[in-house]
Amino acid sequence: MKIKVLIPVYNDWQSVSKLIDEINKLSIDTEFQISIIIVNDASNHDRQDEEKTFENIQSIKILNMKKNQGHARCIATGLKYIIEKEDFDYVIPMDGDGEDRPEEIKEFLNQINNSYEKTMVGERVKRSENLLFKICYQIHKLITLTFTGKSIKFGNFTCLSKSVVEKMIVEKATWNSFSGSLRKIEKNLIPIPSTRGNRYFGPSKMSFYNLIKHSLSIISVFRKVFLIRSALFIILYILLIKSNASIVTVIPLIFLLIAVYSISNLALRENMEEFDKALSNINDIEEIK
Phi, psi for 63 (deg, rounded to 5): -90, 110
Kindly state whether residue 79 falls inside one of the protein's structural domains: yes
Mind listing the pLDDT tens digit of every residue in the chain (289 residues)? 999 999 999 999 999 999 999 999 998 888 899 999 999 999 988 777 777 888 999 999 999 999 999 999 999 999 999 999 999 999 999 999 988 999 999 999 988 877 777 899 998 776 556 677 678 778 878 888 888 888 888 989 999 999 999 999 999 999 999 999 999 999 889 999 998 888 898 776 666 677 788 888 999 999 999 999 999 999 998 988 887 878 888 888 899 999 999 999 988 889 999 999 999 999 999 998 8
Cα–Cα–Cα angle for 240, 147, 143, rounded to 5 degrees: 95
- Which CATH number goes with the domain that contains 186? 3.90.550.10
Helix (H) or strand (E) holding 32, with range, is: none
Kindly state whether residue 223 falls inside one of the protein's structural domains: yes
Domain that holds residue 259: 2-280
Kindly state whether residue 218 falls inside one of the protein's structural domains: yes
* pTM beyond cutoff 0.85: yes
Kindly state whether residue 286 falls inside one of the protein's structural domains: no
Indicate the pairing of strand 119-126 with strand 90-93: unpaired
Give dist(CA 273, CA 172) in Å, integer. 9
Number of domains in the chain: 1
Handedness of CA 121, 127, 132, 135 (dihedral sign): positive
Three-class SS of residue 182? helix
194 in Cβ contact with 123 (< 8 Å): yes
Give dist(CA 90, CA 175) in Å, integer. 20
